[in-house]
Chains A and B, each alone.
Chain A
Amino acid sequence: MEKSTAKKNKIRLFKPGTSFKIFGVVLAVLSLYWAAINQTQASLNRILSSFPILYRMLVEDFFPPDFSYLPRVVSQLVETFNIALLSTTLAAFLAFPMLFFSSSTVNRNPLSYSGIRLVMTVVRSIPNIIMVVLMVALVGLGPVSGIIALTVYSAAILIKLTSESVETIDKRPIQAIKAMGGNTLQTIAYGVVPQIFPVYLSHILYVLEVNLKASVVLGFVGAGGIGQLIRRQMSLFRYDRLGLIIFVLFLAISTIDYISQTLRSKLV
């Protein structure tokens, strides 16, 4: 008698039916994989058979790199870096005041708040390649179109990343400043800015990293810099020069990522 009640009230670690749910989710994910493989006609065989081609390209075409081309590569790399630096700087100044409009902690006006949020969502939903193509059509080929496109895009990202930090700041100092007769601007300058400034600087550095990589890609569609060089050398089949470009890019991007990450870990 005692034994049977003990069996009836057996305690399970998980809610009954959990294993069914897990099974269902695994099945759904697997069938998505199956559909993806079918659609793209991917097969292990095709990947494996590409290795000799890849090897030939790396060893025979890229080597030896054409080091006489280095000065040109470096000058274009500097242009790419300048595009990223300029657009990040402009975006940082553009985004800063908008931060406070797009955060409900500071902006109590629901109309301007949701208005700015909507504009930001629209801007972020445009891929930056499309933005560059539009800008190239407007201002012509070259770095200016890249700078404009990246500025707009990275301002939107900066606002998105940082306004979330503005929402989660400690509101008690703000209450104190208001209680002592500070006006709105003083409340922002003394209550909000000191709390978000390190986070904002860290986000600016992160956006600089992203912009550097993005401006390489954007060069492909005519925004100047090293991307434009890659595209030209590819269409000329100068893989020896391409090898050099890729090597220099790798060095430059890893160096800047390292510097930026070191600085960021000190900030927050």
Chain B
Amino acid sequence: MIEFNGVSVTYPTGVKALKNIDLAINKGEFVVVVGMSGAGKSTLMKCINRMVEPTVGSLKVNGKEVTQLKESQLRKLRTRIGIIFQDYNLIKRMSVLRNVMVGRLGHTPTLSSLIGRFPQSDLELAMNNLKRVGIDEKAYTRADYLSGGQQQRVSIARVLTQQPQIILADEPVASLDPPTSHQVMRDLKRVSKEDGLTTLVNLHFIDLAMEYADRIIGMREGEIVFDGPIGEVTEETFEEIYGRPIRAEEIIGGQ
């Protein structure tokens, strides 16, 4: 359960990225946030694990106020929030398995993690998650030897190995080609449903959003201009969100 109450974010440059957001996301929902670039999608997401500090307002995750957390409490919260980046953010020179184990760092005593001594059960968890996204045979390959789609699946496995309650995915398929984008989105949706996770995905392709979302949130200029279940969404909804007709580059195709 994620609750935004009157959250605003003003960046030091004076840009108002979020304006008085009220929003509640329920456990287990697969929510896609759409909007043009600069609409505040990424800021909305980064507030949840406080990679961006809300300027005013209250933000609760599972009933706990996030904006008041101290450094160590914040780290604890972050171990339960998985994040998937557009550029995967893997450590290129490290093996796939070690990259996945990075997701376990927050659950491992510092000294053990520094010398690379993880409990066998954690390694099994990581290996199993690699299997779930279909790249377990690449476990000992260097991360940068993998294709983009494979790297993004490693980062999904890394997030799962955190055993999170929430997954945040910030433009997860923006660097991938259409067929790979569909595969990655399918994997993401499947594992998050299997584990009952609350998932927030930023996308700018409207057909991808339509296909995978349970619920769509539309943003424009720092405000939520649409919020509703997928059943209520039509092409006109997107034209309202964007404030103009849909363009060809907003449709990924494929599938």
Do A and B bind? yes
Which A residues are within 8 Å of any B CB, using their own CB? Answer: 170, 172-173, 175-183, 185-186, 189-191, 194-195, 197-198
Q: Out of B80, B82, B91, B114, name the residue touching A186 (CB < 8 Å).
A: B114
Residue of B nearest to A197 (CB): B93
Supply 12 A–B pairs (Cβ within 8 Å), ascending by A.
Answer: A175-B89, A176-B90, A176-B155, A179-B83, A180-B105, A181-B77, A181-B79, A181-B106, A182-B75, A183-B75, A190-B98, A191-B91
Chain A CB within 10 Å, residue with most, of B75, B77, B155 = B75
Q: Are A190 and B91 in contact (CB under 8 A)?
A: yes
Which residues of chain B from 109 to 126 have a CB within 8 Å of any chain A CB? 110, 113-114
Minimum CB–CB distance for A166 against chain B, Å: 14
Minimum CB–CB distance for A268 against chain B, Å: 11
B76 contacts chain A at the CB level, 8 A cutoff: yes
Q: Are B91 and A173 in contact (CB under 8 A)?
A: yes
A170 neighbours in B (Cβ, 8 Å): 92
A178 CA to B94 CA, complexed, in Å: 17
B226 contacts chain A at the CB level, 8 A cutoff: no
A183 CA to B110 CA, complexed, in Å: 8
Residue of A nearest to B114 (CB): A189
Tell me whether A195 and B93 are in contact in the complex, defined as CB-CB below 8 angstroms, given that A176-B83, A177-B102 are known contacts. Answer: yes
Which residues of chain B from 167 to 184 have a CB within 8 Å of any chain A CB? none
Minimum CB–CB distance for B120 against chain A, Å: 20
Minimum CB–CB distance for A49 against chain B, Å: 58
B8 contacts chain A at the CB level, 8 A cutoff: no
Tell me whether A182 and B89 are in contact in the complex, defined as CB-CB below 8 angstroms, given that A176-B83, A189-B114 are known contacts. Answer: no
Tell me whether A186 and B110 are in contact in the complex, defined as CB-CB below 8 angstroms, given that A173-B90, A180-B103, A198-B93 are known contacts. Answer: yes
A163 CA to B234 CA, complexed, in Å: 54
Tell me whether A181 and B76 are in contact in the complex, defined as CB-CB below 8 angstroms, given that A170-B92, A175-B89, A194-B91 are known contacts. Answer: yes
Tell me whether A182 and B83 are in contact in the complex, defined as CB-CB below 8 angstroms, given that A194-B94, A195-B91 are known contacts. Answer: no
Minimum CB–CB distance for B240 against chain A, Å: 33
Q: Are A182 and B102 in contact (CB under 8 A)?
A: yes
Which residues of chain B from 213 to 238 have a CB within 8 Å of any chain A CB? none
Q: Out of B75, B90, B93, name the residue touching A181 (CB < 8 Å).
A: B75
Which B residues are within 8 Å of any A CB, using their own CB? Answer: 49, 51, 75-83, 85, 87, 89-94, 98, 102-103, 105-106, 110, 113-114, 155, 158-159, 162
Tell me whether A180 and B83 are in contact in the complex, defined as CB-CB below 8 angstroms, given that A185-B110, A189-B113, A198-B93 are known contacts. Answer: yes
A173 CA to B93 CA, complexed, in Å: 11
List the 7 closest pairs (A to B, CB-CB), nearest first.
A181-B106, A181-B79, A181-B78, A176-B89, A172-B89, A182-B105, A173-B91
B89 neighbours in A (Cβ, 8 Å): 172-173, 175-176
Residue of A nearest to B49 (CB): A179
Chain A CB within 10 Å, residue with most, of B78, B82, B155, B162 = B78
A198 neighbours in B (Cβ, 8 Å): 93
Tell me whether A186 and B93 are in contact in the complex, defined as CB-CB below 8 angstroms, given that A179-B49, A180-B83, A180-B162 are known contacts. Answer: no
Minimum CB–CB distance for A193 against chain B, Å: 10
B80 neighbours in A (Cβ, 8 Å): 181
A186 CA to B79 CA, complexed, in Å: 13
A170 CA to B87 CA, complexed, in Å: 11
Chain B CB within 10 Å, residue with most, of A175, A176, A182, A195 = A176
A175 neighbours in B (Cβ, 8 Å): 51, 85, 89
B91 neighbours in A (Cβ, 8 Å): 173, 190-191, 194-195
B51 neighbours in A (Cβ, 8 Å): 175, 179
A252 CA to B201 CA, complexed, in Å: 62
B77 neighbours in A (Cβ, 8 Å): 181
Minimum CB–CB distance for A40 against chain B, Å: 50
Tell me whether A172 and B106 are in contact in the complex, defined as CB-CB below 8 angstroms, given that A181-B75, A181-B78, A195-B91 are known contacts. Answer: no
Tell me whether A186 and B78 are in contact in the complex, defined as CB-CB below 8 angstroms, given that A176-B83, A176-B89, A194-B94 are known contacts. Answer: no
Chain A CB within 10 Å, residue with most, of B79, B93, B98 = B93
A198 CA to B94 CA, complexed, in Å: 12
A222 CA to B147 CA, complexed, in Å: 58
A97 CA to B98 CA, complexed, in Å: 22
B158 neighbours in A (Cβ, 8 Å): 180
Residue of A nearest to B107 (CB): A181
A176 neighbours in B (Cβ, 8 Å): 83, 85, 89-90, 102, 155
Tell me whether A194 and B113 are in contact in the complex, defined as CB-CB below 8 angstroms, given that A176-B85, A179-B51 are known contacts. Answer: no
